[in-house]
Amino acid sequence: MVGGRTALFRQLAQTLGEAIESGAVAVGDLLPTEAELCRRYDVSRHTVREALSDLRSRGLIESKQGIGSIVVRQQSRATYTETYSSVEELTRFAQGTPVRVYSLEDVVADADLAGRLRSRPGLAWLRLCGVRHDRQEADVPVGHVEVYVDAAYAGIREQAWTLQTSVMETVEKRYGLTVARIEQEIGVELLDDEQARTLKAEVGSPALVIRRWYIADNGRNFEVAFSRYPMGRFAYRNVLLRNAR
């Protein structure tokens, strides 16, 4: 039995992960069925499914309907960790993890979207969606990006398909804007069908979400971005210093 009253799925995921990483379960092998794992470790089906979701987020297994969970990798994917505390550092992060845009559309904000964008209903925006990748491991999706650009700056549409830097920097260069500040919130959301599919993650699994509002030197909120990172693929680090007394 996997012991402890809390985070049983993490203990089970660790046990199964160690078996994979040690080679006891080889790449190409099938893991036991959910029912067998329940019996073997005396845990609930919910716990088993959460543990398998954890292994998928680490890139160790893939689950195929009608077949089961197949081991596809012996070592866990490295968690992408980034530290930034300025606009310039955020731009460097964007250059190191390019976004492959797969969707561009014009939208008009309803009341719900306007609230998320901190804008007014009825305003037009260019919405783009893409997947962020690590340049060193291009086949691994790091995160899902959903960006809204004020329609006044929608002239970046064609450039957006082949972004080499951030949307922010693209708008700045084309329109002569300067970002005065970026307001940021960090939270947790559950991945929807589209996000999970593009990230090769489980629908409904938790993801770290970073919400950013880009304010130009003219006071205009010209860009809003929502970046979602599945569990285990990204860590945000910050350093806090004590003020001199």
Per-residue pLDDT tens digits for 10-54: 889 889 998 998 889 998 999 999 999 999 999 999 899 988 988
d(CA 119, CA 215): 12
Tally of domains in the chain: 2
Residues contacting 20, CB < 8 A, separation 6+: 55, 60, 61, 71, 74
Task: Give the end of a domain, one of 47, 71, 95.
Answer: 71
Q: Are residues 184 and 157 in the same domain?
A: yes
Residue 125: give its domain's CATH number: 3.40.1410.10
d(CA 208, CA 127): 21
Q: Are residues 169 and 230 in the same domain?
A: yes
Q: What is the pLDDT along the chain (245 residues), one digit of tens a residue?
A: 554 444 688 889 889 998 998 889 998 999 999 999 999 999 999 899 988 988 887 778 888 888 899 998 877 665 544 544 555 555 554 555 578 999 999 999 999 999 999 999 999 999 999 998 876 665 678 899 999 999 999 999 988 888 777 899 999 999 999 998 999 999 999 999 999 999 988 899 999 999 999 999 888 999 999 999 998 787 777 666 666 65
Question: Within a domain: residue 179?
Answer: yes
Question: Within a domain: residue 111?
Answer: yes
d(CA 230, CA 206): 6
Q: Are residues 220 and 153 in the same domain?
A: yes
Q: How far is CA 170 from CA 105, 140, 164, in A?
A: 18, 25, 9
SS3 letters across the chain? CCCCCCCHHHHHHHHHHHHHHCCCCCCCCECCCHHHHHHHHCCCHHHHHHHHHHHHHCCCEEEECCCEEEECCCCCCCCEEEECCCHHHHHHHHHHCCEEEEEEEEEECCHHHHHHHCCCCCCEEEEEEEEEEECCEEEEEEEEEEEEEEHHHHHHHHHHCCCCCCHHHHHHHHHCCCEEEEEEEEEEEECCHHHHHHHCCCCCCEEEEEEEEEEECCCCEEEEEEEEEECCCEEEECCCCCCCC
Question: Within a domain: residue 244?
Answer: no
Identify residue 32 by its one-letter amino acid code: P
Residue 54: give its domain's CATH number: 1.10.10.10
Question: Within a domain: residue 188?
Answer: yes
Q: Are residues 109 and 157 in the same domain?
A: yes
Phi and psi for 86 in degrees, rounded to 5? -145, 165
Nearest to 128 by CA among 115, 116, 145, 142: 145
Radius of gyration of the chain (CA): 21
Q: Are residues 51 and 142 in the same domain?
A: no
Domain hosting 44: range is: 8-71
Exposure string for 15-51, b = 16+ CB within 10 A, e = fewer: ebbeebeeeebeeeeebbebeebbeebebeeebbebb
Question: Within a domain: residue 245?
Answer: no
Q: Are residues 165 and 212 in the same domain?
A: yes
Q: Are residues 67 and 35 in the same domain?
A: yes
Question: Within a domain: residue 35?
Answer: yes
Question: Within a domain: residue 2?
Answer: no
Other beta carbons within 10 angstroms of residue 106's beta carbon come to: 11
Question: Within a domain: residue 1?
Answer: no
Q: Are residues 90 and 125 in the same domain?
A: yes
